[in-house]
Amino acid sequence: MTVCTGFKTYFIGALVAFLLVLSGESARAAGDPDLLEQLVQPPLISAPSISADGHFLSGLHRQTDNSARVTIWRIDNGVDAGEALPYERLDINWMAWVGGGRLLLSLKENGLVLYDAHTQRLRPLIDAGGPRPGELPPFLLSQLHDDPTSILMQWEDPVEPGYPAVFKVNAITGQSEKIISAWRPIVRWWASPEGEISLGEGFVGRKQKLFARRQDGDWQQILAKDFFTGPAVNVLTVETGGATALVLSAHAGDTRALWRMHTASGEMINQLAGHPSYDITAALIDPVTDIVVGASYEESQRREIVWQPQNIAAQQAIEKRINVGKLILIASSRSGHRKLYQKRSASRPVAYYIYDSEDDQVILLPVNPGTEALPLVTTRNVFIPVPRMKRPMQAVLSQSKLGDTGKAIVLVHGGPVSRATGNYKAMVSWLTAAGYSVLQPNFRGSSGYGEAWRRAGYGEWGHRMQQDVRAAAQWLEANGTASAGDMCVMGGSYGGYAALMSAMMDDDLFACAVSLNGVSSLPHLIAHLNTNRFHMLTVPRIQGRLSLRTLKRRSPIYRADLMRMPILMLHSTEDANVPFEQSVLMAKALRKEGKEHEFIILKGAEHVLRRASERRIYMQNALDFIDKYLGQTPAANTSR
C-alpha cells in the first residue's frame, strides 16, 4: 500500500504522477480488528457445483495463504478434505461438470483442461486446434446429457478471426469436429440440451441481431433491435427440442418478463412470468427434466415465482427439512437425488447445503469459523421521491442493532447498470458495526426496475443520476437518521465517480467522500471504452448526446477547484475497467488546487479486489477516514 498526497510529474505515454510515499499504514485503526479479519477473508468454499452423477463436488477452497484453489471432493467421503488442482481462482475463466464426473476448466493462459474425478487424472482436453490465449474465450454450449462422452462448445474460428465456430468435442479423447463455421456478426451460439444449434446472436453497432436456422439448414435473421431504444431480447436458454427458447423482454410492457419465443421466427408465443414493478432476472429450470418451472426477480432480496405444484411442494419439504429459512437451488445431480442449495442473508456470507434424498442427509459446506458471531444487520427497503420520475427511487437502508446513531454513509453501487440489494456485503457489515447507518440508493440508470428507470440514466452521469445521490442524503436528514454534516458518501467504480461529484456539489450534506477505482474523467473513460469490441453497447449510456464541453463539466478532474470536502481515493494498478491513470490525474489536480485528500495505491490489484489484503486496506482506511471527519460513533468498536 502506498499513501500519497504529493506528486511530481513525468510521462509514460500519457501524463502520470510520481507518487511521494508518506506512510504504509494508518496511524490509528478504527473498528474491531478481529471483525475486520472475519470480513475480509474469502469463504472456505465458494462457487460450488455438483457433478451430474452426484458423486463429486467442485469449488474454490481457501488455502492457508488465503488463495482460492480449485478443489474436488467425493461427497460420500465428506467435504473436510478434497483434492486441490494446481489452479487458483485467478487462473481460470470458468469451470463446469461434463459427462458425469469430469470437470472441464477454461484457463486464462492454457486453453482447456479436463479433470476426471473417478480416475483423478488431469490433462489437456485438446492438444491442438483448440482455443488459444488472446482469442475469444471458449464457451460451453451444451453438456449433451444423452451423450455423456461429448460436449458442444464454441471458440474462435481461425478462418474467421474474432468470431466463434461450434465444435463437437469428445470429452474422453479430446478430438473435436467443427459442425458450424463462424460467420459475421454472430458472437454467441445457442443450443438445446440435446445439442440442436437453434440460434445465433450478434451485434452490429447498436443493433442486436438474432438468426435462426431454416428447414433447409441455412440461416435467416429473425430480429434486429436497437439495443437502447428497442425492447432488447435477452436469450436465457433454448428448450428441449430446439423449437422454442426462453427469453427476457419488455416488448409488452416496461419491465422485462419471461417469455417463450419461437426460435424459427422470433415470435413471442406466451408470457410465462412477469412483475409490474421489477424485471424478471432468471428462469428456474428443473435440473432433472430441463423444463422451466418458474422465474425469479430481485426486490431487496431474491423472490421466486413457481407455477409447478410438484416443484413448490418439493421446495417446501426441503426448506422444512433443512430449517434455515428460504433456500435457492443452484445445482443438482441429473437424477435429482443430490441437490445443492444456497442460503442468503443480510448479516452472514452465503451458506451452502447439500441434501441427499436417498439417505435424507443434510451436509452444510464448511464456512469460516466465527461466521455465526458476525454483527447482526437489519435491512429494509425505503422509497425516495426523485424529480421527473413517476415512481420513487428504491434504496436499501442497513443499520446495526442500535438503529439510528445520527451518522450515516450513502454507499453508491457501481455499474452503473447494476443494483444494490439487502444481501450480505462485507463493507456494509463493517460500517454498521462501527455505528453508521448505510443507505444504498438504486438511482436512475440502475437495473431491475424496468426500461424507463434504466434508460432515465443514459447520458445522466453527473446530472440526474447525481441528483438521486443527493436525494438519498436528503432523505436521511428528513427522516432523522443523520444530520447534514454527519454523513459521508462513498462507492466503487461508478460509485467512486458519484462520490467525487458529491465532493464538488453536496458539501452542505456530506463531510467527506471515499472513491475506490472511481472515474474522474468522462472523456478519458469514453476513449478507453472505445478500444473495446462492443463499445457501442456501453459508450452511448454515458455520452448520450452530450458535447465534449459538457462531458468535461461533469468530470471531477476538470473541476478540482470546486472540491469542498476531504477526499480519500484508492485505485488498483491493474484495473482494466477504470484505468489507474484516472485517479493518478485526479490526485494531481487536487494537489495543484491545494485540496485536502489522500491517495492509496493498490499495487497489483484489479477492478474487483480479490485478495484479503486488498480488501483489508480498503475497508480499514475507509473507516479510518470516515471516523476522522465524522467523529467516533457511539457504536464504534463495541457492537458484535
Residue 156 has pLDDT above 90, yes or no: yes
Euclidean distance between CA atoms 382 and 385, whole angstroms: 10
**pLDDT one-digit tens code per residue, 461-498:** 999 999 999 999 999 999 999 999 999 999 999 999 99
Domain boundaries along the sequence of the chain: 2-38+378-521+547-630, 218-307
Is the preceding omega at residue 276 within 30 degrees of 0, hence cis?
no
Residue with cell string 456470507: 349
CA neighbor of 371 nearest in space, from 394, 397, 351: 351
Over residues 175-232, the pLDDT tens digits come to 999 999 999 999 999 999 999 999 999 999 999 999 999 888 899 999 999 988 878 8
Report whether pLDDT(5) > 50. Answer: no
**pLDDT bucket at 65, cuts 50 / 70 / 90:** confident
**CA pair distance 483, 177, nearest whole angstrom:** 66
Contact call for residues 624 and 26 (beta carbons, < 8 A)? yes
| pLDDT tens-digit readout, 197-209 | 999 999 999 999 9
Task: Extract the C-alpha cell encoding 585.
Answer: 490525474
Q: In what order do the strands lie in the sheet with 2-12?
A: 14-23, 2-12, 597-602, 567-572, 510-516, 482-492, 406-412, 437-441, 393-399, 378-384
Q: Angle at the Cα of 598 (from 596 to 599), degrees rounded to 5?
A: 140
Give the other-Cβ count within 10 Å of 1's Cβ: 20
Query: Residues 293, 329: contact at Cβ < 8 Å?
Result: no
Distance CA 165, CA 282 (A): 27
pLDDT over threshold 50, residue 17: no
Q: Which pLDDT tens digit goes with each residue over 73-110? A: 999 988 888 999 999 998 999 999 998 899 999 998 88
Q: What is the DSSP letter of 266?
A: -
Averaged pLDDT, 551-559? 97
pLDDT, averaged across the chain: 91
Query: Across residues 542-564, what is the average pLDDT?
Result: 96
CA distances from 622 to 260, 517, 537, 568, 582 (A): 47, 13, 33, 8, 19
pLDDT-derived band at 13, boundaries 50, 70, 90: very low
Q: Mark 342-381 as b/e (b = at least 16 C-beta within 10 Å).
A: bbbbbbbbbbbbbbbbeeeeebebebbeeeeebbbbebee
Q: Considering the domain delimited by 2-38+378-521+547-630, tell me its CATH architecture.
A: 3-Layer(aba) Sandwich (3.40)
- 274-313 pLDDT, tens per residue? 999 999 999 999 999 999 999 999 998 899 999 999 999 9
All three cell numbers of 490: 462513498
Query: What's the pLDDT score for residue 28?
Result: 61
Residue 100: partners with Cβ closer than 8 Å, 6 or more residues away: 51, 52, 53, 118, 148
- Residue 480 CA to residue 532 CA, distance in Å, equals 45
pLDDT in tens, 390-422: 999 999 999 987 778 899 999 999 999 999 999
Q: In what order do the strands lie in the sheet with 56-62?
A: 45-50, 56-62, 68-74, 83-88
Question: CA torsion 398→399→400→403, rounded to 10°?
Answer: -160
Set of cell numbers at residue 472: 438519498
Which of 459, 165, 418 minimizes the C-alpha distance to 281?
418
Q: What is the reported pTM? A: 0.92
pLDDT in tens, 495-537: 999 999 999 999 999 999 999 999 999 999 999 999 998 899 9
CA geometry: angle 130, 135, 136, nearest 5 deg: 90
pLDDT at 622: 98
CA within 13 Å, CB half, 135: 21
DSSP string, 569-593: EEEETT-SSS-THHHHHHHHHHHHT
Residue 593's pLDDT band (cuts 50, 70, 90): very high
